[in-house]
Chain A
């Protein structure tokens, strides 16, 4: 059962990653290029929502959000990625430590 599960799970995860790259031809059609360009900001914003204010299917507000907001302030001041991450994690940890 364990190894059956491992193999089937691998099958699902690999399929989702390679199906489109294997299926697409040499060049992407123009409409797909347009759709992908437009999808990028929407996907990034959705990833922020999924990782900053979600826990499974629940929306949650916790210190993580304050940390991400602090990180965002650094990001929009054109700060480097490493600093953004350190600030976000640091502020989150600090608030958890004092509450």
Chain B
């Protein structure tokens, strides 16, 4: 269907999925103390968005309104509107189906290939979902993921992907994100970086 393969997406995503597993475990362990055993797993399957899920669970624990959590989730995920536009395919249903698996890492790995997106996204979902299940069942057996340096895995992936795209546009994106991070809700600076580069390209 394009120049990538599903397997290629799986292969590239695998180290990230392994490094990200404790994130799912941490979410499952926290969420099960608030919303039981089934709801955290259902949430990881249907929302598939770590920060948005944390926001929602903290509301259910009694810290804020549901509307505020949904607004935070919308702000966090609105960048997917831009990322999903780059997924190729002639049928709406094929594109939308693949984009159900869209995450930052899967989008980066896909690099414009729908097959790679499916492979990478499914691998990411498998990691997030199985991590959640482990967390719900066993609590945080793995300890703090930061101790193992696993929080450096995601930025390392994006640096690796960025190495062939260095230039003015990358610099622009980094500056926009740095300036806006303290000012806007998490997620919005990423979208703003993409929009800024896109607008400049169209107007030129």
Which A residues are closer than 8 A to B by beta carbons? 1-6, 8-10, 12-14, 16-22, 24, 26, 28, 31-32, 34-54, 56-59, 63-64, 67-68, 71-72, 75-76, 81-82, 84-94, 96-97
Question: How many contacts A-B (CB < 8 Å)?
Answer: 281
Q: Are A49 and B159 neighbours in the complex by a CB distance under 8 Å? A: no
Roughly how many angstroms separate A45 CA and B19 CA in the complex, as a whole number?
21
Q: Are B56 and A14 neighbours in the complex by a CB distance under 8 Å? A: no
For residue B163, which residues in chain A have a CB less than 8 angstroms away from its CB? 72, 75-76
Q: Which interface residue of B148, B156, B172, B183 has the most chain A CB atoms within 10 A?
A: B156
List B144-159 residues whose CB lies under 8 Å from chain A.
146-159
Q: Is chain B's interface secondary structure helix, strand, loop, or mixed overall? A: helix
Q: How large is the interface on B (under 10, 10 to 19, 20 to 34, 35 or more residues)?
A: 35 or more
Roughly how many angstroms separate A54 CA and B177 CA in the complex, as a whole number?
10
Roughly how many angstroms separate A57 CA and B182 CA in the complex, as a whole number?
5
Residues 76-87 of chain B: 1 if any A CB is under 8 Å from the residue's CB, otherwise 0?
011111111111
Q: Is chain A's interface secondary structure helix, strand, loop, or mixed overall? A: helix
**B134 part of interface (Cβ distance < 8 Å):** no
